[in-house]
Amino acid sequence: MNANKGDWVRIYNVILNVGERGENLPEDTKKVPFEMWDKGFLVNDIATVGDTVEVETIIGRFITGELLEINPSFDVNFGSGVFEPLYIGKQLREMLGE
């Protein structure tokens, strides 16, 4: 899928590769790169996911990175229903009614 100039996109960068990272890290963290994600309006005329692109962020900074997502969504929701806490209200209401 192509993105056009002015599209709102999400970009990605590796800030520090494995070996460039800070000191005193736990073993698992040492083995992975230090990464970043940001969003902005595409500056390039046209680009495809995976291309290195330039964007203008919402506050007007120009940064480059790998094009990751076009019209990025907010993946926050309430998840699938979790039934475990349902006893709590019942239990407390019963105690109040005693």
Partner 1 sequence: MDINMSYDNVMSRKNQIMKNAIGIDYEGFESGSIAFDYEKMMKEAGYSLDEIIKIQRDHSVGNTPIIELKNITKIVRKLSPKGKGARIFIKDEATNPSGSFKARRAAVSVYHAKKLGYKGVIAATSGNYGAAVASQAAMHGLKCIIVQECYDSQGQGQPEIIEKARKCEAYGAEVIQLSVGPELFYEFLKLLESTGFFNASLYSPFGIAGVETLGYEISKQFMEREGRNPDVVVCTNAGGGNLTGTARGLIKAGAPETSIVGASVNLKGLHMASDRQFNRKSFTTGHTGFGIPFATFPDRSDVPRSAGRPLRYMDRYVTVNQGEVFYMTEALAQIEGLERGPAGNIALAAAFSIAQELDEDKLILVQETEYTGAGKHLQPQLFFAKEMGIDIAIGDPREEICGLNIILPKHPSLIKAVDLDMDKLKKSYISKAIVNVDNISEDDIRFLAEDTNSTTEFVKEIIDEINRRYE
Binding site for partner 1 (CB under 8 A): 15-16, 20-22, 24-26, 28-29, 31-39, 57-61, 74-82, 84-85, 87-89, 91-93, 95-96, 98
Given the structure tokens 């460039």, which residue do they identify? 20
Smallest gap from Cβ 71 to partner 1, in A, equals 14
Q: How far apart are CA 24 and CA 7, in angstroms?
A: 40
Which CB atom, from 37 or from 46, has the smaller least distance to partner 1?
37
H runs (alpha helix) in 1-85: 27-30
Which CB atom, from 1 or from 82, has the smaller least distance to partner 1?
82
Distance of CA 65 to the CA centre of its chain: 14
